Amino acid sequence: MRKNQKGFTLIELAIVIVILGILAAVAFPRYQELRGEAHVAASEAIIGSIRTGVMTYFARHRVFPPADNATFFNHTLHEPPVGWSVTTANATLLRIHSNPNPVNGTITTWTYTNMTGRITSP
């Protein structure tokens, strides 16, 4: 046998591969969960901006903006985020849709009521 051989044995490489597999099995679900939480946090931040716009409008005009004015809500954010849409159901309700949730495939919807100025989600 030669002395001073350099390199890894097959067993050492197999152990490293098993350890990496275990780490991946644990980390990937957590990554998916964090991704979903980030989507929810981003959506809540955008709705917070819309709420601020509604309250600013109320402070200036002493009335909440009409719900059938989807343009107001689009301009509140200057540029609506990709995948967001604003639709009017009637004079008192407005629905704001965000991208489908990448985790469970659902669409998040918020409802604006101009009588109270509240934005709620079901």
pLDDT by residue (tens digit) across 56-71?
877 887 877 765 555 5
Confidence of residue 18 (pLDDT cuts 50, 70, 90): very high
What are the φ/ψ torsions at residue 61 (nearest 5 degrees)?
Answer: -110, -5
Instruction: Specify whether the CB–CB gap between 94 and 111 falls below 8 A.
Output: yes
pLDDT on residue 69: 58
pTM above 0.75, yes or no: no
Q: How many residues does the chain have?
A: 122
How far, in Å, CA of 92 to CA of 69, rounded? 10
Four-point Cα dihedral 70, 76, 80, 85, nearest 10 = -20
DSSP 62: S
Domain boundaries, the chain: 11-120
